Amino acid sequence: MLIAVDIGNSNVVLGIYQAATWTHTLRLESAREASALSFSLQIADYLLEQNLSAGQASGLIISSVVPDLTPLVRQACEQVFQRPATMLNAALYERLKLPILRPHEIGADLVANAVAAFDKYRQTCIIIDFGTALTFTTLNDQGSIVGVSIAPGLKTAIHALYQNTAQLPEVPLELPETVLGLNTTHAIQAGVMLGYVGMVEKMIERIRRELNRNCRVVVTGGLSFVMRPLAYLFDDIVPHLTLDGLRLLYEKSEQQPD
């Protein structure tokens, strides 16, 4: 079984791939005060609960956009699964001859998303990832990333409003029925949630106009389920797109000589 780990700003997601599917997914909080030991204990407990043996792991690949957590999670995973991790980084891009613009700047998760989308569709795509950040990664029909746009994610925007405004409450991520808020909670939901619907619609329209062509819209990320009004724009919702990209990159790295 292959172990793929994506370290994000809100969560560390560990996926277990076997029998040609993602059979198990563990989501841990990206706690900055955590230790390698705490991560390893949580992983080991999960494996025990699921009746899985760490010794069955045939490979381990890790991507991260949180440098402070990277060594801790890597140490924990290598201890639990007793094997070295393949790290998704600029050195791996170079070894695999991936055409990545500014490889030391781009998020590893965006690279994984692009690799998975190109493998699946082989055409121009806009990949929208609804996570801590809302990202739009545009991929051409040769598999190259031609540009990225980044905005604060839904939860990030609402949390920032709550943290920086004394009298406003923290509100649930729910779409209101009307843009005319009748109380404080509904007003924030109308402004942020429906505002983001408009932003996503406009970004897709603008990207297509700049490319001067239609293209597939592929959606992933933990908050994609919130955007119901945008369903007509989405060609596919792929929850495990990042993990799929990590799996493909691990397989490519195993085929490539050092």
pLDDT tens-digit readout, 15-39: 999 999 999 999 999 998 899 999 9
pLDDT of 165 above 80: no
Q: What token pair was written down for 21?
A: 């599917």
Query: Where is average pLDDT lowest: 52-66, 83-97, 212-226?
Result: 212-226
Q: Which fold has domain 2-87?
A: Nucleotidyltransferase; domain 5 (3.30.420)
Report the predicted TM-score, pTM, of the whole model to 2 decimal places.
0.91
What's the CA gap between 156 and 30, in Å, rounded?
A: 14
Closest CA to 145 of 116, 177, 167: 116
Closest CA to 132 of 112, 101, 110: 110
Q: Which residue has the tokens 């609804």?
A: 130
What's the CA gap between 96 and 202, in Å, rounded?
A: 35
Between 100 and 55, the higher pLDDT residue: 55
Select from 2.60.120.260, 3.30.420.40, 2.170.190.11, 3.10.129.10 the CATH code of 123-239: 3.30.420.40
Whole-number pLDDT of residue 50: 96
Between 174 and 83, the higher pLDDT residue: 83
Q: Indicate if 235 belongs to the active site.
A: no
Is there a common fold for 2-87 and 123-239?
yes
- At position 140, the amino acid (one-letter code) is N
Sign of the C-alpha dihedral computed for residues 96, 100, 102 and 103 taken in this order: negative
Between 138 and 256, the higher pLDDT residue: 138
Q: What token pair was written down for 37?
A: 């030991």
Residue ranges per domain, the chain? 2-87, 123-239
pLDDT of 2 above 80: yes
65-79 confidence digits (pLDDT tens): 999 999 999 999 999
Whole-number pLDDT of residue 140: 93
- Choosing from 109, 119, 129, 235, which is the catalytic residue? 109
- Mean pLDDT value across residues 144-149: 93
- Taking every pair of Cα atoms in the chain, the longest distance, rounded to a whole number of angstroms, is 62
